[in-house]
Structure 1
Amino acid sequence: MKALTANRLLDGEVVFWKAGQWVERFADAELFSDDEAATAAEAHGKNQPTVVVDVYLIDLIEAEGVWAPISYRERIRALGPTNHLAHGKQAEGGAVIEALQHAHGAARSTGRVNLIKRK
């Protein structure tokens, strides 16, 4: 599975794609199978070029019954700053935040590499 992520131009916030709009929480992100991921990235990234920047797919792994990014970098982006547990998105708590904090793996996201190769 994969999710589509970007940075919002207005404030630099990490955002995720869900049903036609960008949302701030990873828990709300739309998940794509490997087959539909490339098509989704191209379609959603090009439709809103002035809203977000650096649109790319991230690889996900199942952790504690929910999906979490494989890459440590992407888990940090989904949780917010790492300086204190009471800061950022991780302060919201919940099952998805717990899974993100305990997920394992350090693989590099192939979605971004594939998009770069196509250009």
Structure 2
Amino acid sequence: MKALTANRLIDGEVVFWKAGQWVERFADVELFDDDAAAEAAEAHAKSQPTVVVDPYLIDLVETEGVWIPVAYRERLRALGPTNHIEHGKQAEGGKVVEALQHAHTAARSAGRINLIKRK
């Protein structure tokens, strides 16, 4: 499973792709189980250079009944900022935020590795 993420150009906010638009909450993310559909969404997102910076696909794993990013970096971005539990997206709480906070996956995301290989 994959999801599409980027940073919004106007304010640097971490955003996620959902049905043709960018949303701020990871809980609202569109999940892709088909590589072709994921790559098509990524291509469409990259055609919006005045909206977001560097959109890319991230790998997800199911844990506690919800899908969360495999990479620790992406979990931090989804919770952001993590300086205090009452700040940022993590302050909203909920099942997805709890799963992100308690995840213990150790694998790295293949998305970033593929991005490096393309350059």
TM-score of the pair, normalised by structure 2: 0.91
Match in the other structure for 1:27: 27
Task: Give 1:117 deviation, angstroms.
Answer: 3.2
Match in the other structure for 1:3: 3
Match in the other structure for 1:15: 15
Instruction: Give matches, 1:1-119, under 5 Å.
Output: 1-36=1-36, 37-46=38-47, 48-118=48-118
Q: Which runs of 5+ in 2 are unaligned?
A: none
Question: Percent identity, aligned pairs only?
Answer: 78
Q: Distance in 2 between matches of 1:39 and 1:51?
A: 17
Q: Distance in 2 between matches of 1:117 and 1:107?
A: 18
Look up the equivalent residue of 1:51 and give its one-letter code.
Answer: V
Q: Which runs of 5+ in 1 are unaligned?
A: none
Secondary structure, aligned partner of 1:16: strand
Secondary structure, aligned partner of 1:10: coil
Task: Give 1:49 deviation, angstroms.
Answer: 1.1
Q: Distance in 1 between matches of 2:45 and 2:51?
A: 11
Task: Give 1:44 deviation, angstroms.
Answer: 2.4
TM-score of the pair, normalised by structure 1: 0.91
Task: Give 1:43 deviation, angstroms.
Answer: 2.5
Runs of 4 or more, structure 1, over 3 Å off, are 115-119
Secondary structure, aligned partner of 1:15: strand
For the structure 1 residues 113 and 35, does the alpha-carbon distance in structure 2 shift closer, same or farther, using more than 3 Å as the test?
same
Q: Distance in 1 between matches of 2:5 and 2:105?
A: 19
> Superposition RMSD on alpha carbons, in Å?
1.4
